Structure 1
Amino acid sequence: MSAAPRPLTTPAVPPTTAELAGRFENEFGRLPDGVWQAPGRVNLIGEHTDYNEGFVLPFAIDKTARVAVGVRADSSVRLLSTYGDQGVFTTDLGNLDAAAAKGWTKYPLGVIWALQQRGITVPGLDLLLDSNVPLGAGLSSSHAIECAVISALNELTGAGLGPEEMVLATQQAENDFVGAPTGIMDQSASLRGSKGHAVFLDCRDQSVRLVPFEAEPAGLVMLVIDTKVSHSHADGGYASRRAACELGAEVLGVKALRDVKVGELEEASGLLDEVTFRRVRHVVTENDRVLQTVELLAAEGPGSIGALLDASHVSMRDDFEISSPELDLAVDTARANGAIGARMTGGGFGGAAIALTPLGAEQQVRTAVERAFSEAGFTAPDIFTVTPAAGAMRIS
């Protein structure tokens, strides 16, 4: 799979909520009925386990998508973004067409469509989007949009959906409207996140336990290294990995790979072809790493999980084969320059890596990664810190 440079960048200084409402008024001739936001997420550990009914441990981050929304009296939907140069996209509630949607507009339109499938009457609306979640970086910028939109529409329509149902609605939007065969992890983190905590999610029954995760009191910082290589879930690489997992579960006679234990892998190796076995081995061992991480965080804190982050990256690189030269360089360089653990995060084939780094080594890691990318002839990465933040909410 070839990696592509990112087509758009997020604004360096996001507008304030009042400025966003003012921009909405300038564009649409009235103030919005409200402004809602939803965060992106970093997945601490647990990659490609969600659609295998397994375990994940993401956290919502302090970068968000915000939508100013105003209800219309007719059935028109008008969508505008503060970034890019796409202009107002206009369609009708009775004519929602994924093929005609442009760029980011498929995410709010997919949410509207999914609510309609549930028998919820969605009014015409005007919507202005602003987001500072890096695009294509594996930090779930698309789900942040969807979760902000569904939070707004859940309130404006009086639908009264709980977080579990909103998670499933946004998953349906992704799967059946956008065409991306994603699981429920990203939406769950964005809708159910909590400041200072990671979200330990059982993807079989949607049960959630908030796990304290604060790096700074432990003398650490979580660095995100955005490689600036775009990835997309709506492509063959992600879909083929999911198909391999489904095949593995079928051959092994289980409902989902979540039901296979690490101790059963030797037997599984004799039943599966070599590639499918490696895909299965990643998911099974990754589920185990999530459970170990939760236990270690509770018993010893963030400084104890570095080796599990490292092992997760090796598994994704070698068994699931979803890393990239840029991600491998970011991880290897961060580890060689002081990070206690590092891994790629997100769906793969580009995007970002995370590096859990001692506060005193932060600048050393930043400088080393930037130098390594320059020497390799790669696009300069964007390196920044994230902290666990609150989930989706109304902010105005």
Structure 2
Amino acid sequence: MGAQQVRDVLGVRDGFAELYGAGPEGVWSAPGRVNLIGEHTDYNDGFVMPFALPHTTVAAVSRRTDGRLRLHSADVEGPAVELGLEGLAPGTDRTWTAYPAGVVWALREAGHPVTGADIHLASAVPAGAGLSSSAALEVVIALALDDLYELGLQRWQLARLCQRAENVYVGAPTGIMDQTASACCAEGHALFLDTRDLSQRQIPFDLAAEGLRLLVVDTRVQHAHSGGEYGRRRAGCEKGAALLGLDALRDVPQGGLDAALAELGDEEEVRRLVRHVVTEDARVERVVALLESGDTRAIGPVLTEGHASLRDDFRVSCPELDLVVDTALTAGALGARMTGGGFGGSAIVLAEAADTDTITKAVEAAFAAAGLTAPRVFEAVPGAGARRIG
């Protein structure tokens, strides 16, 4: 266990004991994620390629037998929130507690005998930055309760339950990628995931060995998946599939995009959404092929193509994300794009290791010149998925 993990375990153990009067039964962690390529494809049964960040949400947890759930976060001021399990219902909570409570609700709805818990949390995953802080929170709770109650669930099953919690209990129409990434990613790898059947392949992704770096630039522009714009994009994709007589946009053949767009006629907004999803699925497969052939630098232009598609067709970028991408490319980046659901959050930048300082300074200077809040820039190194750490 690394020094940071030791601090995480000790911190949440001490916080738990101070709150609840005794130590927890265990400590678990679940990471945020960066999506390398494959944006807004997961709810279209398509392909995605995330990897786990070293930034994690940590939970100290003990069971209860009285039907009560007590929740506390070191990152939120105030006392522990106490809830009755019988009263958990979708739409009843619009605060941070909806995410862990929603997981408990989803487990119980699926017939799993969860009778209560005391939970204390701390997170290093930046909220609202497009790095899946909500999925990390959901997955760490699901894994802890799976272990403590000996439910015997597979990681993909935990991800599905967490997605249900976010879709139904929280009311955010997200796909399955974020929860699967947090639950299933492996250190030093990117996860090639088929979101239709949840088949997955771990693709080695060691940029440092090739003299490369991947920077995450958090614009500090907050986004929220439960907002209406994300839901409208998803509804538009579903409309496109229905008009084409398909189960999902995944089923548009790569060679049949032009015919599909013609069939959609004057449905211009739907045409744009369909074009993004179909071409983005193809970009994921291209990146996988390039990484497996050892041509890692060649993925840069593919990332940049993905940003243009998200900006122009899916229209989920924002001026701050575009500024990061344009500035980084001008400063010598191999590729760059927004990552996550959009409307703010973060961008990723692929660069030669020797160029990262120059690119970082250029982005910071561009934000300063535009009168924007300074971005947060850090290197993304593929970390481990969710696990018990104490």
With the shorter chain as reference, the TM-score category is over 0.9
Name the SS for the 1:129 alignment partner.
Answer: strand
Instruction: Specify the alignment match of 2:164 in structure 1.
Output: 172
Task: Tell me, in whole angstroms, the C-alpha distance in 1 between the residues paired with 2:79 and 2:295.
Answer: 47
Q: Deviations over 1:181-205 (max 9, x none)?
A: 1111111111110011000001111
Q: What letter is aligned with 2:292?
A: A
Residues 226-375 of structure 1: pairs in structure 2 closer than 5 A: 226-272=218-264, 273-375=267-369
Q: Is residue 221 of structure 1 aligned with residue 213 of structure 2?
A: yes
**Cα drift, residue 14 of structure 1:** 10
Give the CA RMSD over aligned residues: 1.5
Task: Tell me, in whole angstroms, the C-alpha distance in 1 between the residues paired with 2:276 and 2:367.
Answer: 28
Instruction: Specify the alignment match of 2:178 in structure 1.
Output: 186
Q: What letter is aligned with 1:351?
A: G
Residues 104-183 of structure 1: pairs in structure 2 closer than 5 A: 104-183=96-175
Q: Is residue 377 of structure 1 aligned with residue 371 of structure 2?
A: yes
**Cα drift, residue 17 of structure 1:** 1.0
Q: Deviations over 1:94-143 (max 9, x none)?
A: 11144443522111101000001111111221101111001100000000
Runs ≥4 residues deviating over 4 A = 12-15
Say whether the 8 Å CA contact 1:14–1:130 is kept in structure 2: no
Moved more, 369-378 or 43-52: 369-378
Task: Tell me, in whole angstroms, the C-alpha distance in 2 between the residues paired with 1:112 and 1:73.
Answer: 14
Say whether the 8 Å CA contact 1:144–1:187 is kept in structure 2: yes
Say whether the 8 Å CA contact 1:75–1:92 is kept in structure 2: yes
Mark the CA change 1:342 to 1:14 in structure 2 (over 3 Å): closer, same or farther: farther
Q: Deviations over 1:161-190 (max 9, x none)?
A: 011211111111011101011111111111
Say whether the 8 Å CA contact 2:190–2:204 is kept in structure 1: yes
Say whether the 8 Å CA contact 1:218–1:301 is kept in structure 2: no
Instruction: Specify the alignment match of 1:63 in structure 2.
Output: 55
Task: Tell me, in whole angstroms, the C-alpha distance in 1 between the residues paired with 2:263 and 2:279.
Answer: 18
Task: Tell me, in whole angstroms, the C-alpha distance in 1 between the residues paired with 2:89 and 2:141.
Answer: 18
Name the SS for the 1:40 alignment partner.
Answer: strand
Q: Deviations over 1:224-246 (max 9, x none)?
A: 00000111111111111011111
Say whether the 8 Å CA contact 2:63–2:118 is kept in structure 1: yes
Q: What letter is aligned with 1:223?
A: L
Q: What letter is aligned with 2:229?
A: G
Name the SS for the 1:319 alignment partner.
Answer: helix
Q: What letter is aligned with 1:341?
A: G
Say whether the 8 Å CA contact 2:94–2:170 is kept in structure 1: no
**Cα drift, residue 56 of structure 1:** 0.4
**Cα drift, residue 383 of structure 1:** 0.5
Name the SS for the 1:73 alignment partner.
Answer: coil
Say whether the 8 Å CA contact 1:14–1:132 is kept in structure 2: no
Instruction: Specify the alignment match of 1:395 in structure 2.
Output: 389
Q: What letter is aligned with 2:25?
A: D
**Cα drift, residue 336 of structure 1:** 0.9
Moved more, 76-85 or 198-207: 76-85
Task: Tell me, in whole angstroms, the C-alpha distance in 2 between the residues paired with 1:14 and 1:381.
Answer: 29
- For structure 2, which runs of at least 5 residues remain unmatched after alignment? none
Say whether the 8 Å CA contact 2:89–2:105 is kept in structure 1: no
Q: What letter is aligned with 2:258?
A: E
Task: Tell me, in whole angstroms, the C-alpha distance in 1 between the residues paired with 2:369 and 2:361.
Answer: 12
**Cα drift, residue 270 of structure 1:** 2.3
Task: Tell me, in whole angstroms, the C-alpha distance in 2 between the residues paired with 1:86 and 1:242.
Answer: 36
Say whether the 8 Å CA contact 2:303–2:335 is kept in structure 1: yes
**Cα drift, residue 371 of structure 1:** 0.8
**Cα drift, residue 148 of structure 1:** 0.5
Q: What letter is aligned with 2:327?
A: T
Name the SS for the 2:119 alignment partner.
Answer: strand
Task: Tell me, in whole angstroms, the C-alpha distance in 2 between the residues paired with 1:219 and 1:381.
Answer: 24
Task: Tell me, in whole angstroms, the C-alpha distance in 2 between the residues paired with 1:51 and 1:205.
Answer: 12
Say whether the 8 Å CA contact 1:214–1:302 is kept in structure 2: no
Instruction: Specify the alignment match of 2:201 in structure 1.
Output: 209
Q: What letter is aligned with 2:212?
A: L
Q: Is residue 39 of structure 1 aligned with residue 35 of structure 2?
A: no
Aligned sequence identity (%): 50
Task: Tell me, in whole angstroms, the C-alpha distance in 2 between the residues paired with 1:299 and 1:352.
Answer: 28
Task: Tell me, in whole angstroms, the C-alpha distance in 2 between the residues paired with 1:16 and 1:244.
Answer: 42
Instruction: Specify the alignment match of 1:82 in structure 2.
Output: 74
**Cα drift, residue 15 of structure 1:** 4.7
**Cα drift, residue 86 of structure 1:** 3.4
Q: What letter is aligned with 2:109?
A: Q
Q: Deviations over 1:352-378 (max 9, x none)?
A: 000011111111111111110111111
Mark the CA change 1:335 to 1:234 in structure 2 (over 3 Å): closer, same or farther: same
